[in-house]
């Protein structure tokens, strides 16, 4: 799904989780549990503030064929809060 197509579906976000305050590997564990509740093609928004997880979570999701990364958004630069947009595979 292209970013443009995702933006059209933005109102259809299936699930959003807030895992700020957690570190790896728990960031991936919580993301995986949330993805297991979704159907193929559904969107998961993951809000986190552990910088290594911004790369590790999508990489592990793709490695296990759970989801693909659509976009990374930096929500708050001072507090290093990020949002991962994942599409369930």
pLDDT of residue 14: 85
CA distance 82 to 89: 22
What pLDDT does residue 57 have? Answer: 99
DSSP 39: P
CATH number for 65: 3.30.110.40
Range of the domain at 7: 3-88
Total of domains in the chain: 1
Q: 3-class SS at 57? A: helix
Identify which of 47, 31, 41 has the alpha carbon closest to the alpha carbon of residue 9.
41
Is the confidence at residue 87, as pLDDT, over 90? Answer: yes
Whether the per-residue pLDDT at 63 is higher than 90: the answer is yes
Torsion (CA) 49, 55, 57, 63 in degrees, nearest 10: 180
Q: Which of 9, 24, 38, 69 is the catalytic position?
A: 24
Q: What is the CA radius of gyration of the chain?
A: 12
pLDDT digits (tens, 9 = 90+) for 29-54: 999 999 999 999 999 999 999 999 99
**Active-site annotation holds for 24:** yes
């Amino acid at each position: 799904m292209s970013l443009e197509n995702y933006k059209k579906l933005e109102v259809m976000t299936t699930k959003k989780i807030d895992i700020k305050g957690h570190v790896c590997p728990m960031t991936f564990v919580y993301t995986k549990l949330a993805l297991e509740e979704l159907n193929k093609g559904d969107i998961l928004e993951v809000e986190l503030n552990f910088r290594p997880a911004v790369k590790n979570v999508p990489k592990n999701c793709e490695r296990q064929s759970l989801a693909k990364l659509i976009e990374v958004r930096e929500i708050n630069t001072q507090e290093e809060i990020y949002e991962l947009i994942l599409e369930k595979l």
